[in-house]
């Protein structure tokens, strides 16, 4: 496979992520979110029996991590705790693939609803979720602190599986 082909989004695959993937996920998370989650906190989330997570990888060997989704499944409810795609890989369908992969895994585990919350000013994430069929269920005023600015509301969304 040529290098160009190896970096084509269609050669991205999703791996089930476990505690051993904490370094890659924490690094990607740190590039996308402030404050970043520490490697230890990511590892303890991935170590939890309710954790369901995927890492999107491309190319290789060694494979390059380009996205992640981390969720928890409890009884018949699933919740996405965080999702992200490396900046150079955004708008190539990977966010949708991660979301679809997680929704399928949750469905197989007999979850009935997938929940998440998103900052009201996060247009990209909001567009991704709306397009996937999520509906608004509530608002948490001033939920996300922003350095040097006003706090931003969190919108809670749900998708029937
Ligand atoms: C949100 C995020 C995961 C989307 O990932 P992505 O791989 O770029 O999304 P996709 O390419 O799968 O996009 C699927 C659809 O979502 C919508 N969308 C995604 N990014 C968008 C943007 N920047 N502006 C408008 N719509 C957008 C579009 O409808 C898009 O379909 P289209 O490209 O055919 O128009 C990515 O922007 C990201 O990692 N952001 C930083 C971290 C973050 O905010 N995570 C969510 C926290 S709740």
Strand partners, 83: 69
Which of 127, 132, 136, 157 gets mutated to test ligand 1 (max ligand atoms within 8 A of its CB)?
127
- Tokens at 121, concatenated: 């000013």
Strand partners, 35: none
SS3 67: strand
Q: How far is CA 139 from CA 7, 40, 99, 112, 145, in A?
A: 39, 30, 22, 22, 15
Of the residues 39, 129, 143, 144, only one is catalytic, namely 129
Spatial separation of the C-alpha atoms in residues 23 and 42, rounded to whole Å: 8
Cα 92 to ligand 1 centre (Å):
9
For position 99, what pLDDT does the model report?
Answer: 98
Question: CATH code for 3-160?
Answer: 3.40.630.30
Cβ–Cβ contacts within 10 Å for residue 112, how many?
A: 12
For 30, the enclosing helix (H) or strand (E) is helix 22-32
90 ligand 1 Cβ < 6 A: yes
Strand partners, 113: 77, 160
According to DSSP, residue 12 is labeled: -
Decide the pairing of beta strands 77-85 and 113-119.
Answer: parallel
For position 7, what pLDDT does the model report?
Answer: 62
- Contact assessment for residue 118 and residue 154, using Cβ atoms and an 8 Å cutoff: yes
According to DSSP, residue 7 is labeled: T
User: Mean pLDDT per 10-residue run, the chain (161 residues)?
Assistant: 58 96 98 95 97 94 94 97 97 96 97 97 97 96 88 96 97
Q: Against a cut of 0.85, is the pTM above it? A: yes
Cα 90 to ligand 1 centre (Å):
7
For position 2, what pLDDT does the model report?
Answer: 47
Catalytic: 117? Answer: yes
SS3 118: strand
């Amino acid at each position: 496979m040529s290098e160009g082909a190896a970096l084509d989004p269609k050669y991205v695959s999703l791996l089930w992520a476990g505690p051993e993937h904490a370094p890659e996920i924490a690094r990607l998370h740190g590039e996308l979110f402030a404050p970043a989650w520490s490697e230890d906190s990511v590892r303890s989330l991935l170590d939890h029996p309710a954790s369901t997570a995927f890492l999107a990888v491309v190319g290789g060997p060694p494979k390059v991590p380009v996205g992640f989704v981390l969720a928890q499944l409890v009884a018949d409810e699933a919740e996405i705790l965080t999702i992200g795609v490396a900046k150079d890989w955004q708008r190539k369908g990977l966010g949708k693939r991660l979301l679809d992969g997680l929704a399928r895994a949750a469905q197989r585990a007999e979850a009935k609803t997938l929940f998440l919350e998103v900052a009201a000013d996060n247009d990209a994430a909001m567009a991704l979720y709306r397009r996937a069929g999520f509906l608004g269920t509530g608002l948490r005023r001033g939920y996300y602190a922003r350095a040097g600015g006003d706090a931003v509301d969190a919108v809670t969304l749900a998708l029937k599986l």
